[in-house]
Amino acid sequence: MEDFDALVESYTSDRETGILGVVLLAVDHDAKSLYSKASGHTSLSSDANPISETSIFRLASCTKLITSIAALQLAAQGKFGLDDSSIIEKHLPELCTQEIVTSAPGQPLTFKPRTNPITLRQLLTHTSGIGYDITDPRLQAWRKSCGETPKALSGPILEAFSTPLVFEPGEGWGYGGGLDWVTVLIERVTGKNYGEWLRENVFDVVGVDARVGFVKMEVEKEGEVVMTTTRNKESKLVEHKVGQMKGEGGGGGLFASPSNCMRILQDLISDYPKLLPKEMLDELFKPQLPVGSPSLKGLHTSAPIFAAMTGPLTASLKSTSLNHGLGGILITEDSEGLGKTKGTLSWGGAFNCVWFANREVGVAGCYMSAMYPPGDVKSGELMSGFMREVWRKVGERELR
């Protein structure tokens, strides 16, 4: 451990070209710590505070897991079914009329009517055909044709994700704003705003404190939110100004401390989980994309996307070793480099942050930083070291 501790500190001590700050946490199914380290500072200022487990980070797409949990809670209560398209038709009529973009990137836009309905399962697994207008060139061209700029990072949710589909629902895989639509579904079904629902049904249940929230968190906790940095042309760290969604976006809008994130992750691997009943936990960790399906093939051809998001957990694996659960990428085979990774659910965020949870071996953890863009080389190196350290301890302790 001392060697890895020293490695972490070597990365964060270089405030010019290193990493501003990181928090690395991992626990077992009994909530016993496997690894805990906070190193670096909260900003580039000379008088910046040391970073800690209670520092507040932008979760970006790490938010998606929490939205999946909230949706599965309502499914467990019988509020809606995972495959009942009538629920989408009733509560999200905006998702019933979009056409599908059929033109190739760079070609004049063409469309066709859709034939398949959208289901909640598809929204949770990125198989609905909803894309991101910040990354898909066809949706960027569509925005331009409407006299608009991409809105996925700054627009109100309904405006940001009311775009044409990029494939027939259920017949592909494409990273997009499906979880933001799940946010709207939760609000319309429960009659409560999303943050209120999360507080009552997720955060309070596992003891998450007030250091979690949406956009106003940045104002209320000014000075406690870790500065987002990027590298300039000389590879030196500079501040990266981040746009904010208007509203409570379940696809990427949460701010939270690593210690609070771990309360949620540990519950998923606990022998006595509080957030979800067993049948829904099983669904969360179950491969959702059938072998040979267009959706699974689409996932496998999108490997660079989730490799950048989840780092070393998936980057070193064959794409055929991956599927999708209801909360993130699912590893279906053990890793030669790490060991018992089969059954690991994971996803990341744009600021080089990543979470993982494995019920089979009883381990969960997170790597939290505020470095943009995803796939930063030095961040990836440190993530790799963290994963090796955690899985080394998994092997040593034979948790299950």
- Catalytic residue numbers read 61
- Could you count the other beta carbons within 10 Å of the beta carbon of residue 153? 17
Side-chain-side CA neighbours of 98 within 13 Å: the count stands at 26
3-state helix, strand, coil in the chain (%, to 5): 40, 15, 45
Query: And the tokens for 323?
Result: 């599927």
Contact (Cβ atoms closer than 8 angstroms) between residue 62 and residue 348: yes
- Give the whole-angstrom CA distance, residue 95 versus residue 177: 12
Task: Determine if the peptide bond prior to 373 is cis (ω within 30°).
Answer: yes
256: helix, strand or coil: strand
E strand segments, the chain: 21-28, 33-40, 57-58, 100-101, 111-112, 212-213, 229-231, 237-239, 255-256, 322-324, 329-331, 344-349, 353-358, 363-368
Alpha carbon of residue 378 to chain centroid: 20
168: helix, strand or coil: coil
- Could you count the other beta carbons within 10 Å of the beta carbon of residue 352? 27
